[in-house]
Chains A and B, each alone.
Chain A
Amino acid sequence: MKSALGIIISREYLERVKRKSFIITTILMPLLMLAMMVAPALIMALSGPEEQTIAVIDDSGVVAPRLQNEGDITFIPVNTPLTDLKADDNYQAILVIGKDVISEPDGNISLYTHGSPSMVTEQFISGQLSDVIEDQRIRAYEIDNLRQILDEVNVDVQLQTYRLDKEEETATSSILSYLLGTFMMLILYMFIMLYGQMVMTSIIEEKNNRVLELVVSSVKPTDLMMGKILGIGAVAVTQILIWAVLLIGCSIWIMPLLSTSVAQSGTADPAMIQAVAQLADPSFMGQLLIFMVLFLIGGYLFYSSIYAAIGSAVDNIQDASQLTSLAIVPIILALIISMSVVQDPNSALAMWTSYIPFTSPMVMMARVPFGIPVWQSIVSLVILYVSFVGMIWLAAKIYRVGIFMYGKKPTVAELIRWTRYK
């Protein structure tokens, strides 16, 4: 015989996981995210420079001969007046270069096109012009080897960061940490918001169609609430694990390709190589995943308790909007703080908000990729889970009174009074 709590949890879990909407979103979401990442690159690739013939009217006389045709773009120097060229369909664009272009490029170069030119074409043309003008200016100084000197003077600093607190000196990439922190924090935000509200709406629905009256005649109201929170939480964990497995599967396939291509290309900057190496490090990624799941569960449990209390107190979704600010305001605040935390993961603000359960899940998610000391994560987790126990105790007190209250929109003061009922 299963306990009542177990039966409630399994009903809540199975009813949701078996739904078509769950299966569809679980599969579709990663595809959508992938599409969002790939789409810009794809669009760029597809909208490469189309075949273009560009007429060049060069009043300076030095630029036009140096323009190089490349790919589908062909420059043709002409002497026809602009007005005649405008009517000529053989040219897709007309580039007009002023007399003083070398000393004063701004305002001395114009491009006339039929239809709007693609960004790639524009970039290509302005890149060529910059090179030509720069070259002309360097020559104007009449110093031998000036180009070489300038190249030698030019410097691009790349930091090689090493962690001293690790046994092994591993190179870390802060840009990667920044991206990972932002990504994980957003995922956590999305899950807490989505699944927390799911707990609330599901309680309101039960209350509304009075199935609740029948259920509490068999189980303690507290068990029903706990069962709902845990059952829906299990759905969230299922979803995140499915995604993690998909992600790991993809990385096993993609990462070696990425590493070799980065290593072979030679031109890649060291930060990139470092980032890829770190992404391919299973212990680093494994640790991230573990903390993510732990903070996700803790944050979800904490916030869904608040949502459960709110759901029990109102009759319909409309009435809930005022009370939900109790949960939404801290979540949004945590999101905003996390945005600044990824910039400076060891600031005083980051430290403090790491230990406040309202903000800690997201702030910690933003910080963990930076490799903060493990004890900090553990202390934060302990505080979070202990606060959850306190919060659910309070929520249960409100819940068992709230579910039988109909017709009136309660205030926060009333909710607090309910907690004192026997």
Chain B
Amino acid sequence: MAIRVKVMDRPVEQVSYVRATLSGLAHTFKHLVDPHKVTTQYPEETEALSKRWRGTHRMLTNEDGKAKCVACGLCPTVCPANCIKLVPGEDEQGNRFPLVFEIDEFRCIFCGYCQEVCPEEAIHLGRHYENAEYTRDGFVYDLERLTSQTHPVCEMWDPADPAGE
């Protein structure tokens, strides 16, 4: 049995595409002159990050330019991704300091536990997301790189709103 198609007989002003096209074009032209911008012109422009944004790490330094880290070993202990390598040592004054401090940013899950646990407020996550390297090794940040970076660091909580509400 052949399929029967019901042909609706509708007035032309209802089925014409001309009206819809014109209304769409009107919308487009309206946005052409509307000053409200949707697109950010990255990389020339960037969006502001939240103060609690957790990106690649930074190690803060004290006045004489040395890392604040005292190699207490809490961050490698607390790190759930096991991405921090720390070898403690002693400097000439007998102070503890990290001989080796490496963070594998590929392994890192950016949970922020290292920053939270740090008793010296040395290791911080950064408000930074532009990461590109020519080799995979470049993502293992050593102490020199961690201390020389200058991007702003994460505030784990807003001092004005410590409960995060």
Q: Do A and B come from one complex?
A: no
Residues of A bordering B, CB below 8 Å: none
